Amino acid sequence: MNVYLTLVLATLATTARVFALIGASIVTGWLLGYLAIKSRVFENLYTSLIGVFESVPVFSFFPVVLVLFVSGIGGYLGVELAADFLVFTAVVWNIWIGIYQAFKTVPREMLEVAENLRFGFLKKMRYLYIPYSIPRIAANLLPSFADAYFYITVSEVFSVGSSTYQVFGIGSAIAQLAASGAPLSLYLLALAILSIAVSLSVYAIREFADYAAAKYAVDTSVPIRRRRFIPPRAAGAFGGSLARIARNIATTYRQMARQRRPPPERERNYDKLLRPIGIVVGVVLLSLILYGAIEVIKSTPWRTWESLFARTPSVIPAILADYARVFIIALLSTALAVTLGYYLVTHPSIERVMVPVIQTFAAYPAPVYFPIIFAATYAALYGALGYYANEVYVIALGFISTFYYVFYSFWMGLKAVPHEVWELMENLDMPYTKKMAKILLPGTLPYLISGLSSTINSAWGGLAIGEYWPDIIRGETLQVKTGLMKLITYSTAQGDVALAAWASLLFAVIVVLFSIFFTRRMMDLAMKKYIMEEAVFAA
């Protein structure tokens, strides 16, 4: 097949995977969200699992993927499901929680109208819950798309021991070009084709977000353009006749609909059935998790456990080293957010150009172009810094892979600052540092904490790629001396899946504890104490 056609088809295949997995996340989110608001038992389990798994980085699922799909199913189908599952776990949690929050906050008046019209499950979903959730979904599409593209290009080709697995897509195509020593022009062509696909996708997502905000938001100032199917003069001339016809049709339709409607008791019984169904589903999910954990413990030989316990002391320093790198990445991302975000909000003409550019850049998967940056700079950087050049590259990869989340959250927080507060700061002639310290940083703290949480959770993906990247260009290997992500990826590449799974488990426990005792408490503090909108009511 022609190489140019192959690159185009590979890009289309990757993009199709991304949108298919986002679509699967949305459809399952609708069903599970409705079940959650109807069953308290399932709701508690559902929200708890989302909170736990949302805090766990995607690469922690890699050993599970190897066991369930690559080894369990095998063949091309197993590899395809493995790649898709990794991307699904990257995009699904924020979409699910967004849909659940939308379903949970449907206005009571709308629910009463749906009950008075005797809507069943399908009509409630079609006319109430799904439309009400669309603005939340649209707000999460761009971050989900960026996450999906980042992980799909990495997961399309991976190695376990001496075996290499790959599926058709732009990620595996670029990896093959790099491995075969293809000319740089061909590599750049692949990046150009990918950039076109990313740019068109980001444009489509932005247009859909604007459309969703205009049409489906309950309270919005965005106008909706409507078409007149009947010219005004024709409507005036035939208004009486058309009105009579419309009234007759409406009356006939209401009579037919009333005959087709099931009794109210049957409608209520449908909702009552969902409560035991939710309980059963919740118990089954919890049982499967416990059963899987018990089976893993029973099937693992005691000698393996002894070996894992003996190697645990070497895992802890690796975790600490990676948290130090994540801290640096979060610090750099926050510094960029509070400076660039403020500059763009206060310069609307530049903001209109720069925000779409930043969104497109953030959605472009860093692993496909980072080797070019490495090739252009590694000779000079290694000559100047020696080993520490590896640390610079790893932190840079983590930064460009995740800075967008805290930047976007802070930028949205500044956009939500009431204009009365901006006027007050202007009247007091406050300098930039005082605005930030006294008003803007405290007032946007909920947005900052939310963005920082996403930045920290997503930074592990960049570290997982950069800490051990064999043959990044022409036989060169990028790697650090110690790091948890290096331990997981290196152990997987060497076929030591048990150590990779053990390290992932320890890391997941630490991440969950960090989320419970730090992130949630900080968010609760921010929501209770630092609500910018209250300044308007206080005034």
Distance CA 300, CA 159 (A): 23
Largest CA distance in the chain: 90
Q: What angle do CA 406, 411, 414 make, to 5 degrees?
A: 125
Distance in angstroms (rounded) separating the CA atoms of residues 523 and 516: 10
HSE (CB half, 13 Å, CA atoms) of 439?
22
Distance CA 311, CA 308 (A): 5
Q: Is the dihedral of CA 304, 499, 64, 36 positive or negative?
A: positive
Q: How many CB atoms are closer than 10 A to CB 65?
A: 24
119-134 pLDDT per residue, tens: 777 888 888 888 888 8
Question: In which element (H, E) is residue 429 found?
Answer: none
d(CA 485, CA 57) in angstroms, rounded, equals: 10
- Give CA separation, 117 vs 121, 123, 264, in Å: 12, 10, 10
Question: Which tokens sit at 488?
Answer: 């997981």
Nearest 5°: phi and psi at 14?
A: -65, -45
d(CA 61, CA 457): 13
Classify domain 304-538 at the CATH superfamily level: MetI-like (1.10.3720.10)
Q: What is the DSSP string of 384-413?
A: HHTTHHHHHHHHHHHHHHHHHHHHHHHHHH
Task: State the Cα–Cα distance between residues 264 and 162, nearest whole angstrom.
Answer: 63
E-strand stretches of 313-403: none
Dist. CA 251–CA 238, nearest whole Å: 20
The answer to whether domain 1-218+272-299 and domain 304-538 are alike in fold is: yes
335-354: pLDDT as tens digits: 999 899 889 888 888 988 88
Beta-bridge partner residues of 479: 468
Q: CA of 42: how far to CAs of 38, 50, 99, 497, in Å?
A: 8, 12, 15, 33
Q: Which of 181 and 1 is assigned the larger pLDDT?
A: 181
Q: Could you read off the pLDDT of 185-239 as tens digits, one per residue?
A: 887 888 888 888 888 988 888 888 777 767 776 544 344 444 333 344 333 443 4
To 10 degrees, what angle do helices 366-385 and 130-155 make? 50
Residue 105 confidence (pLDDT): 75
Phi, psi of 471 (to 5 degrees): 55, 50
pTM: 0.71
Where exactly are the structural domains of the chain?
Answer: 1-218+272-299, 304-538
Give me the mean pLDDT over the 14-34 stretch.
Answer: 90
**pLDDT greater at residue 88 or residue 253:** 88
Give pLDDT tens digits for 292-317.
566 666 666 778 778 888 888 888 88
Domain 1-218+272-299 matching CATH 3.30.300.130: the answer reads no
Closest CA to 450 of 415, 414, 408, 401: 408
Residue 296: predicted pLDDT: 60
Q: Which helix (H) or strand (E) holds 154?
A: helix 130-155
pLDDT band at 529 (very low <50, low <70, confident <90, very high): low
Q: Distance (Å, rounded) from C-alpha 299 to C-alpha 281?
A: 26
Q: Which two tokens stand for residue 522?
A: 């900080």
pLDDT score of 227: 38
pLDDT at 539 over 60: no
> What is the spatial distance between Cα 461 and Cα 101, in angstroms, rounded to a whole number?
27
User: Where is average pLDDT lowest: 23-37, 80-94, 247-261, 388-402?
Assistant: 247-261
Please state the separation of Cα 142 from the chain's center in Å: 8
SS3 at position 237: helix
In degrees and rounded to multiples of 5, residue 26 shows phi and psi of: -70, -45
Whether the CB-CB separation of 54 and 94 falls below 8 Å is answered with: yes
Instruction: For 126-166, list the strands marked E by DSSP.
Output: 157-160, 163-166
Q: For residue 405, how many other CB atoms are within 10 A of its CB?
A: 25
Q: Model confidence at 258, in pLDDT bands (50, 70, 90)?
A: very low
Position 157 scores a pLDDT of 72
Q: Which residues contact 241 (CB under 8 A, 6 or more apart)?
A: none
**Letter for the amino acid at 358?**
I
